[in-house]
């Protein structure tokens, strides 16, 4: 009973923390705000990486790697970019330590850097400084590059996966000859993210653009996918930015177009991070632990043998050997948990905590009857099935689980999306959580005031199929469309 989670209903934040620790995904490290990602958590990240990486390559991108350190001066080149990141930068000032007879190891004051280095909070500056050298003609464009990297943002408060001082992510940085092409790229990558969120993470997302207040520092337009967590708070799960010519101008990246005229290059950047693991957890999991969508589960099927004697284990092993091969042939990852150091009940609880989608239990009784017990993690249902054709049945079940948890999350989101027309109803609804669709007069001032009074921000402005005019919830001024408000992570 050592591994009980705080129930969600009692304290959602505590539940989340307990789960990350007890499912063995990550733990806090000796460095404030930085976590150790443990093998099981990292395996989930590797699955995400592999799928996203494939999608990026499918859309024509290549991977490259840029330095961790960025000269301080680079940051001052794009004004709003500096403003956005200045308050959360780690800075390298020295390059050597020395022994001090009194204080032990100290920073060698003689080893001060001429120019301090910033540990990258994002790589636009160093990348655009590099792109300058790569681009002369329209024939050099587009540049479609992604990098998998770690970045550092010195956050005041951190939470495992959701906000850590150092985090892993990917950042795409593209350069284009025209505005239209860059906008199309930013929109394309938003669709890639939405596709990944919905079809792999089984997490429904709203897509659209950010309000000016919430825009990325240096962007002309920020597109985002926005998900609703089980506690009614929104989570920004991925962003794609149309950067206009801001960085090209700041770093003087020009090209000669077909008409032999100098033009600044158009840019995009886009990223998702290990925060997605937090999103995954808070989309599907329950008081028994993690619930993973089959497409991202490091282990999709676990087989727990039930045995007293060595001979029984041998018989079971023989029985499941073919099944394991069949499943692997189908690309399904299987773990045969034949440890004799733990009892079946312990294993059941452990794999439940770790969110393995399908668990098979097989013991002497099953061997006699030619059956196997199949348990699914999402519904916690168990049934005894004939062993015949079991690999096909499991393959089918995994697909059903993937669909079911998406459907469940979708219903939850729809049940927690509200249309509100009065300020009183708005305040009340925001307090209770969920997405709130309301009219807004379009000004940053109003958004700011709403944030100050309710802590809610505009999460996303969705593209409008049918514009619905109305009056701003706060000022009563005319509004062209509803926007999505929520309290967020």
- Whole-number Å distance between alpha carbons of 62 and 320: 41
What is the H or E stretch that residue 44 is in? Answer: helix 39-58
DSSP string, 109-171: GGGEEEEEEEEPSS-HHHHHHHHHHH-SBGGG--EEEEEEEEEE---SS-BTTTB-SEEEEEE
Q: Which residues bind RNA (CB under 7 A)?
A: 1-4, 13, 28, 31-32, 84, 87-88, 153, 155-159, 162-165, 167, 216, 236, 239, 273-275, 288, 306-309, 340, 343-346, 348-350, 352-353, 361-367, 373, 375, 380, 382, 455
Cβ closest to RNA, residue 156 vs residue 465: 156
Q: Residue 110 Cβ, how far from RNA at the closest point, in Å?
A: 25
- Whole-number Å distance between alpha carbons of 221 and 348: 48
Q: Residue 87 Cβ, how far from RNA at the closest point, in Å?
A: 5
Cβ closest to RNA, residue 58 vs residue 310: 310
Query: 477: Cβ–Cβ under 8 A, 6 or more apart, which residues?
Result: 441, 471
Query: 432: Cβ–Cβ under 8 A, 6 or more apart, which residues?
Result: 232
Q: Residue 400 Cβ, how far from RNA at the closest point, in Å?
A: 18
Cβ closest to RNA, residue 165 vs residue 283: 165
Cβ closest to RNA, residue 8 vs residue 479: 8
Task: Give me the torsion for CA of 471, 477, 481, 486, rounded to 10°.
Answer: -80
Cβ closest to RNA, residue 125 vs residue 236: 236
Q: Residue 324 Cβ, how far from RNA at the closest point, in Å?
A: 17
Q: Residue 375 Cβ, how far from RNA at the closest point, in Å?
A: 5
Half-sphere exposure of 82 (CA within 13 A, CB side): 10
Q: Residue 373 Cβ, how far from RNA at the closest point, in Å?
A: 4
Buried b / exposed e along 235-251 (16+ C-beta atoms within 10 A): bbbbbbbbbbbbbbebb
Q: Residue 322 Cβ, how far from RNA at the closest point, in Å?
A: 18
Cβ closest to RNA, residue 162 vs residue 409: 162
Distances (CA, A) of 347 to 60, 66, 332: 44, 44, 20
Cβ closest to RNA, residue 57 vs residue 365: 365
């Amino acid at each position: 009973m050592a591994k009980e989670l705080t129930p969600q209903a009692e304290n959602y934040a505590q539940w989340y923390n307990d789960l990350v620790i007890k499912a063995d995904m990550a733990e806090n490290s000796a460095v404030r705000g930085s976590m150790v990602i443990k093998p099981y958590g990292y395996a989930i990240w590797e699955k995400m990486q592999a799928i996203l990486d494939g999608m990026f390559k499918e859309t024509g991108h290549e991977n490259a790697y840029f330095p961790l350190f960025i000269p301080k001066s680079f940051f001052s080149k794009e004004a709003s970019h500096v403003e956005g990141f200045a308050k959360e930068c780690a800075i390298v000032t020295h390059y050597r330590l020395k022994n001090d007879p009194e204080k032990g190891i100290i920073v060698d004051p003689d080893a001060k850097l001429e120019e301090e280095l910033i540990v990258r909070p994002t790589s636009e500056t160093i990348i655009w400084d590099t792109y300058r050298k790569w681009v002369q003609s329209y024939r050099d464009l587009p540049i479609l590059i992604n990098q998998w990297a770690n970045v550092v943002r010195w956050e005041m408060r951190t939470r495992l996966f959701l906000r850590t001082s150092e985090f892993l992510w990917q950042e795409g940085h593209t350069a284009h000859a025209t505005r239209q092409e860059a906008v199309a790229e930013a929109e394309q990558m938003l669709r890639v993210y939405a596709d990944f969120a919905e079809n792999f993470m089984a997490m429904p997302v709203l897509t659209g653009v950010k309000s000016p207040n919430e825009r990325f520092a240096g962007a002309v337009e920020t597109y985002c996918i926005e998900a609703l967590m089980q506690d009614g708070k929104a989570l920004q799960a991925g962003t794609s930015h149309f950067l206009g010519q801001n960085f090209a101008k700041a770093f003087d990246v020009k090209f000669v177009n077909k008409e032999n005229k100098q033009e600044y290059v158009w840019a995009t950047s886009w990223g998702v991070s290990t925060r997605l693991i937090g999103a995954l957890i808070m989309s599907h999991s329950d008081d028994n632990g993690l619930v993973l969508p089959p497409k991202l589960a490091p282990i999709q099927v676990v087989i727990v043998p039930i045995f007293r004697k060595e001979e029984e284990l041998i018989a079971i092993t023989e029985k499941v050997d073919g099944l394991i091969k069949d499943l692997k042939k189908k690309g399904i990852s299987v773990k045969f948990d034949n440890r004799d150091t733990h009892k079946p009940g312990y294993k059941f609880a452990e794999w439940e905590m770790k969110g393995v989608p399908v668990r098979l239990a097989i013991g002497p009784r099953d061997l006699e009857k030619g059956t196997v017990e199949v348990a699914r993690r999402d519904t916690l249902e168990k049934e005894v099935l004939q062993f015949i054709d079991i690999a096909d049945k499991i393959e089918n079940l995994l697909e059903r689980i993937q669909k079911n948890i998406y459907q469940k999350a979708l219903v939850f989101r729809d049940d927690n999306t509200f249309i509100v027309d009065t300020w009183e109803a708005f305040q009340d609804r925001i307090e209770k959580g969920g997405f709130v669709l309301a009219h807004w007069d379009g000004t940053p001032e109003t958004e700011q005031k709403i944030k100050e009074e309710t802590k809610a921000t505009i999460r996303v402005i969705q593209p409008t199929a049918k514009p619905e005019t109305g009056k701003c919830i706060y000022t009563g001024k005319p509004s062209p469309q509803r926007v999505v408000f929520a309290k967020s992570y």
